[in-house]
Amino acid sequence: MRNIGFLSAALLLALGANAAAAADSATFWSDTAARPQTAASAPAQFRALALDAAALNAFLDDGARRGETLAVPQPDGGFAEFMLQDSDVMPPSLAAKYPQIRSYVGVAADGTQARIDVSPLGFQAMVFATDGVWIVQPQDKDGGNAYLSFARSAATPSHDFKCGVHGRPVANNIDAALRSGPVPLTTTGTIKRNYALAMAANHNYVIAISPTNGATVATGMAGVVATVNRVNQVYEKDFAIHMTLVPNNDQLVFPSASGDPYPNDDTAIDMNTAQVDSIIGSANYDVGHVLTTGSGGVAGLGVICVNGQKGDGTTGSPNPTGDAFWIDYVAHELGHQFGGDHTFNSTTSSCGGGNRNGPTAFEPGSGSTIMAYAGICGSANLQSNSDPYFTASSLNEIRTYTFGGGASCSDTTTNPNAVPVIAPLSNFIIPARTPFVLTGSATTTSGGTLSYDWEQNDTGSVNNTLTTDPGNGPIIRSLNPVPTGVRIIPRLSNLIAGTTLTGEILPTTARTMHFRLTVRDNVPGFGSTNSADMTVQSVVTSGAFKVTAPATAVSWAGNSTQTVTWDVAGTTAAPISCANVGIDVSTDGGLTYPLNVGSFPNNGSAAITVPNVATSQARVRVSCVGNIFFNISAPNFTITPGTDVIFKNGFES
pLDDT at 273 > cutoff 90: yes
Residue 178 banded pLDDT, cuts 50, 70, 90: very low
Residue 164 has a pLDDT of 65
Peptide bond connecting 635 to the previous residue in cis, omega within 30 degrees of 0: yes
Mean pLDDT along residues 630-642:
97
Secondary structure (DSSP) of 253-320: B-SSSTT----SSTTHHHHHHHHHHHHT-GGG-SEEEEEESS-EEEEESS-TT-TTTTT-EEEE-SS-
Phi-psi category of residue 240: left, alpha or beta, with phi > 0 → left and psi -120 to 50 → alpha: left
Domain boundaries, the chain: 418-539, 546-640
110's CB contacts (< 8 A; 6+ apart) are 1, 2, 3, 4
Residue 158 has a pLDDT of 58
Distance CA 439, CA 615 (A): 29
181's CB contacts (< 8 A; 6+ apart) are none
**Of 246-250, 397-401, 596-600, 639-643, which gets the smallest average pLDDT?**
639-643
Residue 555 banded pLDDT, cuts 50, 70, 90: very high
Average pLDDT of the chain to the nearest whole number: 91
**Contact predicate 171/396, CB 8 Å:** no
Task: Output helix, strand, coil percentages for the chain, rounded to the nearest 5.
Answer: 20, 30, 50
Residue 175 has a pLDDT of 40
Residue 239 has a pLDDT of 97
Q: What percentage of the chain carries pLDDT values higher than 90?
A: 81
Q: Where is 25: in which H helix or E strand?
A: helix 19-26
Q: What percentage of the chain carries pLDDT values higher than 70?
A: 89
Residue 66 has a pLDDT of 54
Residue 19 has a pLDDT of 53
Peptide bond connecting 483 to the previous residue in cis, omega within 30 degrees of 0: no
Mean pLDDT along residues 38-52:
82
Looking from the CA of 106 toward its CB, the CA atoms found within 13 Å total 25
Phi, psi of 168, deg, nearest 5? -135, 50
Distance CA 572, CA 154 (A): 47
Query: How many C-beta atoms lie closer than 10 Å to residue 159's C-beta?
Result: 16
Largest CA distance in the chain: 100
Secondary structure (DSSP) of 519-584: EE---TTS--EEEEEEEEEEE--SS--EEEES-S--EEETT-EEEEEEE-TTTTSTTT---EEEEE
Residue 152 has a pLDDT of 87
pLDDT at 644 > cutoff 70: no
What does CATH list as the number for 418-539?
2.60.40.10
Mean pLDDT along residues 230-251:
98
**Strand pairing partners for 514?**
535
Each residue's pLDDT tens digit, 309-326: 999 999 999 999 999 999
pLDDT at 177 > cutoff 90: no
Residue 166 banded pLDDT, cuts 50, 70, 90: low
**Contact predicate 63/29, CB 8 Å:** no
Mean pLDDT along residues 505-511:
98
400's CB contacts (< 8 A; 6+ apart) are 174, 339
Question: Which of 253, 288, 295, 260 has its CA nearest to residue 274?
Answer: 288
Mean pLDDT along residues 5-9:
36
Say which DSSP state 250 is in: G
Q: Are 418-539 and 546-640 equal in CATH topology?
A: yes
CA 646 → CA 25, 183, 640, distances in Å?
63, 60, 18
Degrees, nearest 5: CA angle 138-139-140: 90
What is the pTM assigned to this prediction?
0.92
pLDDT at 39 > cutoff 50: yes
CATH topology of domain 546-640: Immunoglobulin-like (2.60.40)
Phi, psi of 479, deg, nearest 5? -125, 155
pLDDT at 33 > cutoff 60: yes
Residue 172 banded pLDDT, cuts 50, 70, 90: very low
Each residue's pLDDT tens digit, 417-473: 899 999 999 999 999 999 999 999 999 999 888 999 999 999 999 999 999 999 999
Residue 2 banded pLDDT, cuts 50, 70, 90: very low
**Strand pairing partners for 80?**
72
**Contact predicate 314/295, CB 8 Å:** yes
pLDDT at 389 > cutoff 70: yes
Q: Is 209 helix (H, G, I), strand (E, B) or coil?
A: helix
Residue 63 has a pLDDT of 61
Residue 341 has a pLDDT of 98
Distance CA 346, CA 506 (A): 19
